[in-house]
Amino acid sequence: KMAEKQEEPSNTQNGEPDNAEEGEEKKKKLKREDLPPFEIVTGERLPAIFFKFQFRNVEYSSGRNKTFLCYVVETQGKESVTSRGYLEDEHAAAHAEMAFFNTILPKCDSSLRYNITWYVSSSPCVTCADRITETLKKNKNLRLTIMVGRLFMWEEPEMQAALKKMKSAGCKLRIMKPQDFEYVWQNFVEQEEGEEAKAFVPWEDIQENFQYYEEKLAEIL
């Protein structure tokens, strides 16, 4: 419980060294306050250091109190259009999951079919899970698959109930396998300019953690 409601994470947790110059810090702060309440970053890639920290499928996720959501939206009409991007909820009034529905897909055209895949650092909170359930019930032309790195507060009965409701509304919830992390690395993470794309390096316990969460999820659903 403690780790959930942390204050502003320090820079080290966000993967930036803590000894950044004072001036730089001030500039960054200013820049951050100028941003709209939600910055939508579409088509851009997230810094590798964020990916390595936030997406890591550890059991105790201290300091990981942001949600990173990478999305692929396939819209099928006369022609199929695919768009992708990522959202993070650092300076957010809403969580990334809510922001997706508020900004990326504020309305569903009933004459189109949407196949949406999210790759998210951790599974949604109860409020977001309920919003996902409502959205899927309302829009039968929407298919949503959520690939998550970790399960969030999965021991809580109300969280388990919310995940079950999502499933019954047609949401596919999956735990990210090592191959899924690699997919995100290749498609959503910044690669150094001018260098060969770096290969994804799985962390030590990636497979065991995947199996651990997959068993938990199977028990819940």
Confidence of residue 57 (pLDDT cuts 50, 70, 90): low
pLDDT in tens, 137-176: 999 999 999 999 999 899 999 999 999 999 999 999 999 9
Domains and CATH numbers, the chain: 48-190+200-220 (3.40.140.10)
The Cα-based distances of 42 to 71, 87, 146, 165 in angstroms read 9, 8, 18, 29
pLDDT higher than 90, residue 21:
no
CA pair distance 176, 181, nearest whole angstrom:
7
Catalytic residue (choose from 88, 97, 208, 215): 97
What residue spans of the chain are helical by DSSP H? Answer: 22-34, 48-54, 96-99, 126-138, 157-168, 178-188, 206-220
pLDDT band at 35 (very low <50, low <70, confident <90, very high): very low
Q: Are strands 68-76 and 80-88 parallel, antiparallel or unpaired?
A: antiparallel
pLDDT of residue 66: 67
Q: In which band, very low, low, confident or very high, does the pLDDT at 203 lie, cut at 50, 70 and 90?
A: confident
**pTM greater than 0.85 (yes/no):** no
Q: Which of 5-9, 38-42, 52-56, 215-219 comes out lowest in average pLDDT? A: 5-9
Q: Is the pLDDT of residue 8 over 80?
A: no
Tell me the pLDDT of the chain averaged across its residues.
Answer: 78
* The residue to which tokens 């966000």 are assigned: 14
Indicate whether 189 pLDDT > 70: yes
Is 197 or 181 the better-scoring residue by pLDDT?
181
| Greater pLDDT, 23 or 90 | 90
Give the three-state DSSP class for 72: strand
Position 187 confidence tier, pLDDT thresholds 50, 70, 90? confident
Q: What pairs with residue 173 in β-bridges?
A: 146
Which residues are registered as beta bridge partners of 144?
Answer: 116
Q: What is the 3-state secondary structure (H, E, C) of 80-114?
A: EEEEEEEEECCCCCCCHHHHHHHHHCCCCCCCCEE
State yes or no: is 90 an active-site residue.
no
Which residues are paired to 113 by β-bridges? 76
**50 versus 184: which is more confidently predicted?**
184
Residue whose C-alpha is closest to residue 209's, from 178, 187, 167, 180: 178
pLDDT for 194:
59
For the stretch 82-126, pLDDT in tens is 988 888 775 456 788 998 998 889 888 999 999 999 999 889 999
- pLDDT score of 4: 42
